[in-house]
Structure 1
Amino acid sequence: MIARTDMQAARILIVDDQEVNVSLLGQTLRQAGYLNVASTTVAEEVCALHRRNDYDLILLDLQMPGMDGFQVMEALKTNDRDAYLPVLVITAQPGHKLRALEAGAKDFISKPFDLLEVKMRIQNLLEVRLLYRQLDLHSQELEAAVRERTAVLRESEARYRSLTELASDWYWEQDADGAFTKVSGPVLEMLGLRVEPLGDTATASAGAGWNEAQHKHLQEAIAARQPFLDFVFTRARPDGTLQKFQVSGEPMFGPACNFIGYRGIGLEITDRK
């Protein structure tokens, strides 16, 4: 629900070329407790006033010289900030009511005025308008919270990557096609070790010395988008001795839950017990 103080603080603009109508509506609104009531008898001023003051409600007479109420509503629609057009039209012509609603007006007041009806329609429209404002504010706060949370997660991920790089011989990431997009680590760089795509049995069978059975098992895990922990695989050196590696990895998924690759850490454990 909208607090009464928020209702009373709502910004209202009265637009009518007849001073007597402006005076009557203004007096009625102030007696009802509304604190921010402005007016103009010049239709051409409405858009500029609304852009400057962002009114919560505009009481708009349809029959005015020069620029009529329908033209004013069309001009108000050019305000990109305002998805909700806060217009309550004033008309003595019954045939104009439907056309006004089709043009974007939210409600109408008939002349001559029934002041009790005027106050009720104004109150109802202001409640809707202020609820829209609350929803917009909540959406902005939610977006800000999401941005803040995303920044925290990115910072946490950066720390995780830094720690894993320190705790392992290399840190790696692969894209959805299995190509390495990031491979880093001091041992990897010092030794000039070349790491082929994980599970690439074609590379293994091409004479790189990898154990084909182990690679097949790893390839099956990757194809099933499964995480793997401390997976050990070997390859034969040219002198016939075995070089042993231990790798752990997990699948990565994008915001739409689409698979985007793998990431993990690796160790050479040839001389470790």
Structure 2
Amino acid sequence: MENFRVLLVDDNPVNLDVLRVTLKQIADCQVLIANSGQRALELMQRSPPDLVLLDVMMPDMNGFDVCRKIRSTEQLQAIPVIFVTACTEDVSTGFEVGGNDYIGKPINSSEVIARVNHQRERARLHRELEQLNCELEEKVRDRTAALVVSNRQLREEIKERRYMQDRLQYLATHDFVTRLYNRNAFDDRATKAVQAAQLGVEEGCLVQLDLDRFRLINESCGYIAGDELLRQFADMLASVIEPDDFLARLGSDKFALICHDLNHGRRLVKFLQQQVKDFEFSWDDRVFSLDASFALVRINRSIVSFDQLMLMVDEVVYQLKQQKVPFLTYDDITQSNPEGRGKVKWAIRIMDGLKREKFRIFFQKVVPLTAPAGADKGRPLVRIETLVRLWDSQKSRVIFPDEFIPSAERYNLIGEIDRWMVASVLQYFSAHVDLLDAVDKISINLSAVSIRDPQLVNFITKILQETGVPPNKVSFEITETEAIINMGSAKQFIDELHRVGVSFALDDFGSGFCSFNYLRELPFDALKIDGVFIKDIDKNTTHLELVKSIIDVGKQLDKVIVAEFVENQAIAEILISLGVGWGQGYFFHKPAPIEELQQGVALLLASGKR
């Protein structure tokens, strides 16, 4: 038998060893190893394998990027890819970039062997199908003259070919554990349901079902038990739905039902709740019961895209967890909390803005209040903070961040906005070298959520290299927030970019309980005093004393101090008397489109003062 060649891609030698030893149990399985995404692509170009087991988290090029490269390369795009990940949130992204399957971490030998054998069987069927196609075409040419005689045999061969095609189609659209439709099939069916509602053909509903105790059973009894539980539960679901209902496993412990009628969907949820209560799973003389939560969204003309539908489902699932109830509908949460519908609409607008380039860069000058040490007295210092805005093309107006950032954070879109902002700002200054020479420091805001992204450092480093913007001209402002939950990873993020030459500022300092803790634990270069204390220090003695304390701490720690919300001459003079280095606010400059920066810098340099 011909060897089945499997390429293992992981930067962790321990994971590679575990997978290599596991695959030795499969007969005629030849294992190839690559310790990076780039190395894997080089090996595949020289000698394409039959299957790739691909780790997600790798330096330089992560698993998703490697998979995109494979799918965009003609000679490699047919190779099946199985992602190996410990994060269930990676599963949907893996399927979106072209993955065929996934293996969870910690690695379970039985699961690895089952999934590899599944792909091997699929490859064998595909080869047989190709061979049958070739043979069939040859026979058609050779037997045209004897068509009547060979007609019966030909029909049998066509039948076999159709069987093989049906089998391949089944494997492509079904989950091999539960034998239900898979995520790819669900995406297609849900899109068609949205289209049907838009055309007024049929309105329906989507029900997402989450098993609440699956992880406990999966981890305490093992993956084999977990798979058997999923099979039994799926069989139960399939036995109670109607023929017109569409049932799919979305991944892990999530299932989805698309029903042709809202009332039918409600009745089905009520019936399934009782079925779940009565359901018992036995394993090794132990009996387990299950709980499940149900999120229902009506599919009607108000839903214009698949993305909108999934955002609405996500909002219902979120509210289920917040309210700790077993069943909610989207209509329920929007009636009791109208803001929920608004958040979903904002999320859709944000996604549309990212796709259609509706975001804009604004800037605000940061003005020196006292002469910095070593400053060139003949050349004014120009520092700016870049600000993100969203353009509303329907109303021809600029939308400020306080309107859309909460929804961006709620639906995990803030990272995409931050990446867009970093890339766009650096690309702008790369294209305007005269401005880059004139500007001393360019500040860019980063969400505390974004700095948890392990790939963000590589992204920023790559953009800096591509644009040629000197890193010492770039400062990232991180807002003081409870979202900085992992001091270790936050410090590592700052340290790695410090080595590149980038500086960091702690924004809105003093607004939270953790201000001084962040300043002690994290190596910030500057602190920006929260404008809530600055804007009335000419009238509010309490705020004035607080600002004095913050300034004293900043000076003791040798930090650059910036005051925000400087709105009048009196506030500016107080800050100068206190020795604050930099000021920012409407008194000096109101935020303006980045395109106006050239004129502003020219005037500033010409005047020699702010």
TM-score (norm 1): 0.49
Question: Which of these two proteins has the greater Rg computed from alpha carbons?
Answer: 1
Q: Which has the higher contact order (CA 8 A, sep 6+)?
A: 1
Q: Which has the higher helix share?
A: 2
Q: Which has the higher strand share?
A: 1
TM-score (norm 2): 0.23
